[in-house]
Amino acid sequence: MDTKELAARLAKGDRRAVAKAITLVENDGAGSSGLLRAIGPRLGHAFVVGVTGPPGTGKSSLVDRLTESYRKKGLKVGIVAIDPTSPITGGALLGDRVRMVDHTMDEGVYIRSMASRGWAGGLSGAVADVIQLLDAAGMDVVMVETVGIGQSDTDVVRVAHAVMVVLMPGLGDDVQASKAGLMEIGDVYVVNKADLPGADDMVVDLLAMARDFKGRNPSVLKVSAAKREGIDKVVDVLERIRGRFLSSPSEAGDAIRLKGIRGMITELARRRVLVDFEARADSRVEGLAEDVAKHGLTIDEAANSLLGSKGARVRPRKRTV
């Protein structure tokens, strides 16, 4: 199937075309750049929600419940679920399709699990491309669920129009420790598993923190995804933000839209720089290591050489005794 035909089928929401297109961009296959150019005129409709937070807080269950609510509103939903890649085998569990099995036969929902492939920040390197493809395929809302992350893993803010941070009672001092990272990126803070002791106290703590975020007014909500309690309130908050996003051209809508575009550009550029760097590193680092070990090249000089123009190599100094 050529790029033009794939783009046309993608525009019709053909699920096989979506799967093929995602695999193509994930693997940076021949024609992937042409495909992304072809779908360019169709982009800008999907509202992207980043769903992030520490492991075990119930992000997948919450995404599942939010999808139910969005489908009741007649909206099409794309889900990009990032799972960690094993540093040993390179494999990934990709378990979110199992947890969201109720939606797998729904033509209005497309779920794609992606391995992080060592990408830091809770995402996968191809996530920005995949969001574009789901946008072109007619999804109204795209939810990006990150790997269970820590306070410094905040890359999702680059690709999302709204960020939902999912927490749970019992995190205790972890919330305070996260204040300089994860706790500063949310538009919505959700305390899940609200039937557990300490949920109300956590909401109070989050509200107090929110007052310190000058220029921002994030929402703090308490839910139980397992019991389907409080989900509609989360959707209402996200829908208010989506409403501003869809109101472009307007000051509020343009700000949300441009934030997403800036982040997507940055994320794609980072991916391409890193791919190029890793290709050069794989072919040259062994020789540079030899020069450091045997010929007096410093590690700093070796690193500078690796970052320089392709094929450039710092001449090793003679060792002095």
Strand (E) or helix (H) holding 7: helix 3-11
175 φ, ψ to 5°?
-65, -45
Q: For 50-64, 74-88, 125-139, 237-251, which range has the lowest pLDDT when averaged over its residues? A: 74-88
pLDDT score for 73: 96
pLDDT score for 170: 81
Rounded-to-10 torsion of CA 141, 146, 149, 155: -80
pLDDT score for 1: 72
Cα–Cα distance between 293 and 291 in angstroms, integer?
Answer: 6
Rounded-to-10 torsion of CA 28, 34, 36, 41: 180
Cα–Cα distance between 273 and 283 in angstroms, integer?
Answer: 16
Per CATH, the number for 43-246 is: 3.40.50.300
pLDDT score for 20: 95
pLDDT digits (tens, 9 = 90+) for 141-166: 999 998 766 555 567 888 899 999 99
Cα–Cα distance between 35 and 4 in angstroms, integer?
Answer: 7
Of residues 321, 310, 315, 312, the one with CA closest to residue 295? 315
Q: Which two tokens stand for residue 17?
A: 């075309």
Of residues 194, 202, 203, the one with CA closest to residue 230? 194
pLDDT score for 313: 47
Q: Is the pLDDT of residue 128 over 80?
A: yes
User: Contact, 157 vs 263, CB < 8 A?
Assistant: yes
Give mean pLDDT, residues 122-136.
82
User: Start-end ranges of CATH 3.40.50.300 in the chain?
Assistant: 43-246
pLDDT digits (tens, 9 = 90+) for 35-92: 999 999 889 999 999 998 888 889 999 999 999 999 999 999 999 988 765 444 444 4
User: Contact, 79 vs 111, CB < 8 A?
Assistant: yes
